[in-house]
Amino acid sequence: MTLMMTHKERMLKAARGEWADQLPWVPRIDLWYNSNSMRRTLPKSFKQNASLDEIADFIGGGYHKIVPEFLNVRTPEDNIDRGLGIYRLWGMAYRPELVNVDREVKKEGDTTHVTYHTPIGSVSCKYIYTEEMKRAGASITWITEHVIKEPKDYKIVGYIFKNIKIHPDYENYIEFQNKVGDKGFAAAFANLSASPMHHIMKEFLDATTFYLEMYDHPKEMQALCEDMEPYFDQVFRVLADSPAEVIFSGANYDEMITYPPFFRDHIMPHLQKLADMLHPKGKLLLCHCDGENKGLLDLIPESGMDIAEAICPQPMTKVTISEVKKAFKGKVTIFGGIPSVALLEESMSDEEFENFMRNLFREIAPGDRFILGVSDTTPPDAKFERLLRITEMVNEWGKLPMKF
């Protein structure tokens, strides 16, 4: 008798370019869950206090444990430095410590105002989390005032990062890994950014200002990147030595935001550096590629990335899964493939959904280097039955190699 593989084994096989027994199916449902749980609109077959994992078990796929739970905090310390883009969340394999920095926190309604006092000056930021965001299932707070507001702030933020100490927190990670068990791989979180410049773009300035600052204050930006290098080095080293099989570093790549020359010059070198540290230890590098990737398709397979998670095809982007597969040349595992609008009745009728999924399976076949998932996440108003239908499809057509 041949034993079936666990979800985790399937996912890791797919991630390493080996054949699993069946196409791994791993829907991300956290936003859907948060929103429906809050609105008390979980499907009637569940108790309204049903847990996310109970529902994932019912769907029958693996557990999507990639993006940390930014709002599920044990103490305020866990996400108080959200404005700097650093966290101390449950499940993380490292813990950052701010050194020589006094933090002053003020709460005003939905807004958190944090000021960082350093020996060379102070910087501040604000972020919000409203009732409406809760109802929409938002998984992270929104920054309403960024930490860099004037040229002098670059140096102060640089001071903060130059002095951060990164401590291994492997017990915290192992707790997470044990909780996920054989239902999936528990990705160890590095940062939402892949590199210092990417971090400045994502966390310290709004997008429009960031691009103009590249012309207006290039020297200050470059100096800040240099100040941030030791932080990234420490995080990479601690994660490379961690018990995790998969490391998540960098999110939201997109041909417009992280346009090809930016990706090539400011993101790729750091992905390659991290991959070079991970691969000799048998670890894999995962990135959250949830944007329009058409212009980045040729760069991704050269970046050292093993798993491109949240890959989203037409109609939400310009690419088809066949095009992504061709561009990745068997070097990168696609995690995703089902655009979130496919789960919305407003966007696709049941018949259109069926046709869409049949075509998708045709494109995925024979199914190597593929983990089927929703990109980037199941929307709150998704038709739940469609997730169950996908499980049926995977059971019916997903035996690897697929002959669809």
Partner 1 sequence: MLNEEVDLFYKALKDTNLLTIEHLTKQYIEKQLSPLVILNEGLIAAMERIGQEFKAQQIWVPEVLLAARNMHRAIEMLKPELIKTKTEPRGKFIIGTVKGDIHDIGKNLVVIMMTGAGYEVTDLGIDVPRERFLEAISQINPDLVGLSALLTTTMLEMENIIKGIREANPSRPKVIIGGAPVTQKFAEKIGADGYAEDAVRAVELANRLLRERS
Residues of the shown chain interacting with partner 1 in the complex, contacts defined by CB under 8 A? 31, 35, 132-133, 136-137, 142, 206-208, 211-212, 214-215, 255-257, 259-262, 291-292, 295, 315-318, 339-341, 344, 346-347, 379-381
Shortest Å distance, C-beta 152 to partner 1:
21
CA distance 378 to 263: 27
CA distance 13 to 187: 15
Task: Give the residue ranges of DSSP H helices in 108-206.
Answer: 131-135, 152-162, 170-180, 196-199
Query: DSSP letters of 158-181?
Result: HHHHHT-EEEE-HHHHHHHHHHHG
Residue with smaller CB distance to partner 1, 68 or 379: 379
Lookup result for tokens 């813990």: 95
Residue with smaller CB distance to partner 1, 246 or 289: 289
Token pair in block for residue 305: 């990335």
Shortest Å distance, C-beta 290 to partner 1:
9
Residue with smaller CB distance to partner 1, 336 or 339: 339
Residue with smaller CB distance to partner 1, 73 or 344: 344
In degrees and rounded to multiples of 5, residue 166 shows phi and psi of -105, 125
Residue 282, phi-psi category: left (phi > 0), alpha (psi -120 to 50), beta (remainder): left
Residue with smaller CB distance to partner 1, 218 or 366: 218
Query: DSSP letters of 89-109?
Result: -TT-SEEEE--S-EEEEEEET
Shortest Å distance, C-beta 113 to partner 1:
18
Token pair in block for residue 264: 């090539």
Shortest Å distance, C-beta 147 to partner 1:
17
Find all residues with CB under 8 Å of 304, minimum gap 6, and list them.
268, 271, 272, 274, 275, 276, 279, 285
Shortest Å distance, C-beta 369 to partner 1:
25
Residue with smaller CB distance to partner 1, 5 or 136: 136
Residue with smaller CB distance to partner 1, 33 or 231: 33
Residue with smaller CB distance to partner 1, 6 or 144: 144
**Sequence-ordered strand ranges (E) for 294-369:** 307-311, 333-339
Shortest Å distance, C-beta 46 to partner 1:
21
Nearest to 4 by CA among 394, 372, 286: 394
Residue with smaller CB distance to partner 1, 4 or 207: 207
Shortest Å distance, C-beta 378 to partner 1:
9
CA distance 13 to 389: 24
Nearest to 277 by CA among 304, 317, 248, 253: 304
The amino acid sitting at 296 is L
Shortest Å distance, C-beta 41 to partner 1:
13
Residue with smaller CB distance to partner 1, 90 or 211: 211
Shortest Å distance, C-beta 317 to partner 1:
7
Q: Let me know: does 67 contact 188? Beta carbons within 8 Å.
A: no
Find all residues with CB under 8 Å of 277, minimum gap 6, and list them.
236, 237, 240
Shortest Å distance, C-beta 193 to partner 1:
16
